[in-house]
Amino acid sequence: MKFTFTNGFKECYYAYLALQVSTFSSIVMASIFPLFGLLMLFLAVAVYNRAPTLSEIVVIILALGFSPIIGAIAVYQGLRKNKAATVPHTYEFTDAGIGIVSSLSTAHVQWGAICRLRETRWQFLFYISPRMAYCLPKSAIGDVEQVSQFRAFLNTLEPVKKLGTLQGG
């Protein structure tokens, strides 16, 4: 099966978010600032029995939005500076692995190199390490029926079966 697509901001940001929740340590790190914001809100309302001041509200909003905002900035800068991320890519899935071709690079990843396979609402992620994955947006595959056919194809591959059956995201 072969799919050609160009990554946009949305696809890259969804991939970033999926990778942020892929390990326990990344979840903890991404939660520090939002938890600080909730603590400040709790202290102002419950402990001091008052409404937060305007400056506290600004700090709370920044704390709650810190991780998503920093992620969005990182994705935007990555797309702006990395020409390889913005050219069309073709992913070809075979019994041997995944072939990835663009005008700037070519790679072949054997199924044995994939340590984890995950399906989210928006994409398929093929992890080659706990924090690095090749991402295939579902929008590149087509409609719901074509996504189901692709999932069924992956589930028939013997190396993929060892990683667990995909159920749908």
The predicted pLDDT at position 167 comes to 67
Q: Which of 50, 83, 116 is the last residue of a domain?
A: 83
Can you name the residues that pair with 123 across neighbouring β-strands? 137
Share of the chain above pLDDT 70, in %: 93
CA atoms within 13 A on the CB side of 142: 10
Give the span between the Cα atoms of 15 and 74, in whole angstroms. Answer: 12
Which one-letter amino acid corresponds to residue 129? S
Which domain range does residue 152 map to?
A: 2-7+85-161
- The reply to whether 93 and 60 lie within a common domain is no
- The reply to whether 94 and 57 lie within a common domain is no
43-83 tens-digit pLDDT: 877 877 778 788 888 887 877 777 788 889 988 998 888 88
Q: Which of 83, 104, 120 is the last residue of a domain?
A: 83
The predicted pLDDT at position 20 comes to 76
Question: Full-prediction pTM beyond 0.85?
Answer: no
117 and 103 in contact (C-beta within 8 Å)? no
**Please, which residues have CB within 8 angstroms of residue 97's CB and are 6 or more apart in sequence?**
108, 109, 110, 111, 112, 113, 114
DSSP strand pairing (89-93 vs 2-5): antiparallel
31 domain-assigned:
yes
85 and 79 in contact (C-beta within 8 Å)? yes
- The reply to whether 14 and 78 lie within a common domain is yes
For 62, the 3-state DSSP assignment is helix
27-49 tens-digit pLDDT: 777 777 778 778 877 887 787 77
Which one-letter amino acid corresponds to residue 126? F
Q: Which of 83, 105, 134 is the last residue of a domain?
A: 83
